[in-house]
Amino acid sequence: MTASQDLGLIGLGVMGQNLALNIADHGFSLAVFNRTVATAQAFAAAAEPGQKIQAAAELKALVAALKRPRAVITMLPAGAATDEALDALAALLEPGDVLIDCGNALYADTMRRERALTARGLGFVGAGVSGGEEGARHGPSIMAGGSADAVARIAPVFEAIAAKAEGAACYAHVGPDGAGHFVKMLHNGIEYADMQLIAETYDLMRRVLGLDHGAMQAAFAQWNRGELDSYLIEITAAVLGRIDPETGAPLVEQILDRAGQKGTGGWAVAAALELGVAAPTIAAAVEARTLSAIKAERERAAKLLSGPAPALADGAGLALDDLAEALLLAKIGAYAQGFAVIDAAGRRHGWTLDRARIAAIWRAGCIIRARLLGQIMAAYERAPDLVNLMLDPAFAARIGRGQGAWRRVVAAAVGHGVPAPGLGSALAYYDSYRAARLPANLIQAQRDFFGAHTYERIDRPGSVHTDWTS
């Protein structure tokens, strides 16, 4: 091979293949490598006229096929597989060449890799790529982290292949080293929360309002034309309308209620805890998946543990519109939490994270794309230092208007014994956040009681200890 190709790409799983085709469609020539060489050969052989894709049988050949300074994208499972590929590539590359990890890497790994590769004179970009298979193929949302020089090498490719929102590419260089993967991790945390909130809403529609699948599909389809307009609501309507060809029943009811998770949601929660930022709705979404996974244990518990009398689909005084309000407001709460974590990470790591820009590039291409993101972008444009999204006057007013419905929904869920940890945690987050006084004074007293941890008084500065047993 001559050194003719614009880019290298390693890892031809579903995401890697679709990203490669997207890149090739935009006129960039590629050398591709996959651990199973036959996969790369078959992939290159299937390229359409105009798509310049060469398969390499080994990494050395891939590197030899690239124009200088070389740029190689990795799209591999997070962890050891990515480390191995980066190490092997680093040994073959020269100073000035750039490696771009487009997988769902843990941001701390990206920071470590950036340090190690930069020390060897190589550029490193950690890029979060969202949008699933379809996004990778036709336009994802891309969050890049790395030095300006390293990112500049790949920016024209990202600009070209990213989704477009109102004509602008959904690609941003969000910050240095791990910033891109950090922002993608919070995207996924919000994705988990959004999915959980929708699932709870479906459960309440079915078990409290007694709606059938046609009515539920119609409700989500109608919501998708209003404020709730989003990709996840759109696909929910499509899912609810699908009939299982084997049984003739709604397909969704034939699906085992055990949710998988590959880890990014949990990472987001761990990062929030580590930063000392509350993200209860994201945590509730991760934990709901964890509880769903213990199916056999739940089935045993269902026979032993009682709850309220079975919900009789009595409506509990709820209207369908109440559910739409609760879903929207809880979703605002989840975004507020996610952006608060992003903000704190920026301060901790010295990253200047522009939240208006992040909201802007989430408006298209990614899984959480939603009409709401345009309003979130506007809120951060109005006030770049906004401490919490709920404090934006437009959002504060919107929550104020809908909170009655939100409270009715959470009360109905509790009353009927239908779990709604996402909707409920977001409401508790709102109520805690707006409380000028919380019962933490009692907690401080207890801490001082059993551990002499001391407390502060409301009327003067300083630490005080009381001998509580005297």
130: β partners: 141
The two tokens of residue 312 are 């009789």
3-state secondary structure of 142: strand
Give the span between the Cα atoms of 466 and 470, in whole angstroms. 9
Give the span between the Cα atoms of 193 and 272, in whole angstroms. 14
Q: Which amino acid is at 213?
A: H
Q: Would you call 54 exposed, middle or buried from its count of C-beta atoms within 10 A (0-12, 13-18, 19+)?
A: buried
| Nearer CB in complex with ligand 6PG: 158/406 | 158
**Of 191, 200, 234, 325, which residue is the catalytic one?**
191
Please state the closest distance from residue 230 (CB atom) to ligand 6PG, in A: 14
The two tokens of residue 292 are 């769903």
| Nearer CB in complex with ligand 6PG: 56/163 | 163
**Of 48, 60, 184, 200, which residue is the catalytic one?**
184
The two tokens of residue 438 are 């919380």
Give the span between the Cα atoms of 362 and 341, in whole angstroms. 16
3-state secondary structure of 18: helix
Please state the closest distance from residue 187 (CB atom) to ligand 6PG, in A: 6
- Residues 73, 140 contacting (CB under 8 angstroms): no
Please state the closest distance from residue 400 (CB atom) to ligand 6PG, in A: 32
Which residues are at the interface with ligand 6PG (CB under 6 A)? 104, 130-132, 188, 191, 260-262, 264-265, 366-367
Give the span between the Cα atoms of 384 and 353, in whole angstroms. 10
Give the span between the Cα atoms of 144 and 101, in whole angstroms. 9
Q: Dihedrals φ, ψ of 172, to 5°?
A: -145, 145
| Nearer CB in complex with ligand 6PG: 316/359 | 359
Place of tokens 């409506």: 315
Beta-carbon neighbour count of residue 464 at 10 Å? 11
Please state the closest distance from residue 192 (CB atom) to ligand 6PG, in A: 7
| Nearer CB in complex with ligand 6PG: 188/224 | 188
| Nearer CB in complex with ligand 6PG: 131/176 | 131
Please state the closest distance from residue 453 (CB atom) to ligand 6PG, in A: 38
Shortest-Cβ-distance residue relative to ligand 6PG: 130
| Nearer CB in complex with ligand 6PG: 174/399 | 174
| Nearer CB in complex with ligand 6PG: 22/130 | 130
CA atoms within 13 A on the CB side of 215: 9
- Residues 2, 17 contacting (CB under 8 angstroms): no
3-state secondary structure of 53: strand
Please state the closest distance from residue 338 (CB atom) to ligand 6PG, in A: 13
Please state the closest distance from residue 293 (CB atom) to ligand 6PG, in A: 12
Please state the closest distance from residue 105 (CB atom) to ligand 6PG, in A: 11
Contacts 24+ apart (CB under 8 A), 20-25: 20/53, 21/51, 21/137, 22/136, 22/137, 22/138, 22/139, 22/140, 22/161, 23/157, 23/160, 23/161, 24/50, 24/51, 24/52, 24/53, 25/50, 25/51
- Tell me whether residue 184 is one of the annotated catalytic residues: yes
Please state the closest distance from residue 239 (CB atom) to ligand 6PG, in A: 15
- Tell me whether residue 191 is one of the annotated catalytic residues: yes
| Nearer CB in complex with ligand 6PG: 367/420 | 367
The two tokens of residue 353 are 């994270």
CA distances to 117, 126, 140, 146, 355 from 175, rounded to whole Å, are 17, 10, 19, 6, 11
| Nearer CB in complex with ligand 6PG: 265/424 | 265
Question: Annotated catalytic sites, by residue?
Answer: 184, 191
